[in-house]
Amino acid sequence: MPDLDTPGAAAAAPRPDARPQRTGHSRRLQAADGTLLHARYFPRRDGVAGDLAVVVAHGFTQSSHSPQMKRISNWLSEHASVVLLDLRGHGRSRGHSTLGWREVLDMDAAVSWARALGYRRVATLGFSLGSAVAVRHGALHRGVGAVAAVSVPGEWHYRGTAAMRTLLRLILTKPGRGLLRLLRRTRVSPSGWSTPDPIDARAAAAELDVPLLVVHGDEDGYFPVHHAWQVHAAAPSGSLWLERGFGHAEAGATESLVTRIGAWLDEHTVAVDPVRA
């Protein structure tokens, strides 16, 4: 089966008056393959309507209701309205995690919702697993004005760190998947990927036609900094921030860092046609 590039639901005509006013407003979305998803909306903190929305995808075993993601959405809302998405198999979304393969459909559904709310500029921000999803979505579906990837894995099946070897043992075995479901409420699909493997973040970055921000910590215990170098080097346009003392993904994100990411997205996100080029 080829890599997924099926567009999600078509975006509705802009309806700024339909934007929810309540912080944390929940919405049920549907991916193009029928998977039901859970998303939450957070308007800008200053009450300004604005034209920028950032769709945020969490890392593996996280969700829109995790303390880390709640803090991140609050910090990010200084610069933009925020859509927090539960990727399939996580949080209140249905289905099973495919570890970055079919999740591009989840991202596309959330981007379509942001556009339906009337936002002219829509960017995506992902952490770890979510960062690979954001980069792949930007290449396969387009329709966003910028992409930010924090702690991005440059390649699939990486086993170069003890943390990743442990995680893969959980993901690839039935007992391990059972533990993830019991302890982390994360449902992982037992089925394999497509053949050949879907394009990874490094290959997808080369196909982007919008700016890419790659943020990586020099103390990342899952993916060493060469992953960031690879993804950044492949992108036609973008920036690389190597953060000293920063660990991995949401757990290491500070208010200062997230605010800087929000400012970068506000500056670099362009208004683009939602229809894939």
Average pLDDT of the chain to the nearest whole number: 90
| 6 part of a folded domain | no
pLDDT digits (tens, 9 = 90+) for 51-109: 999 999 999 999 999 999 999 999 999 999 999 999 999 999 999 999 999 999 999 99
Average pLDDT over residues 31-45: 96
pLDDT grade for 194, boundaries at 50, 70 and 90: low
Count other C-beta atoms under 10 Å from residue 276's C-beta. 11
| 3 part of a folded domain | no
| 60 part of a folded domain | yes
Alpha-carbon distances, residue 253 vs 57, 186, 232 (angstroms) = 14, 22, 20
| 5 part of a folded domain | no
Residue 7: the pLDDT is 41
Q: Which of 179-183, 267-271, 273-277 shows the lowest per-residue confidence on average (mean pLDDT)?
A: 273-277
Estimate the crossing angle of helix 103-116 against helix 129-140, to 10 degrees: 70
| 8 part of a folded domain | no
| 126 part of a folded domain | yes
| 11 part of a folded domain | no
**The pTM is what?**
0.90
Which domain does 65 fall in, by range? 18-268
What's the domain count of the chain?
A: 1
Q: What is the CATH number of the domain that holds 263?
A: 3.40.50.1820
pLDDT grade for 46, boundaries at 50, 70 and 90: confident
| 246 part of a folded domain | yes
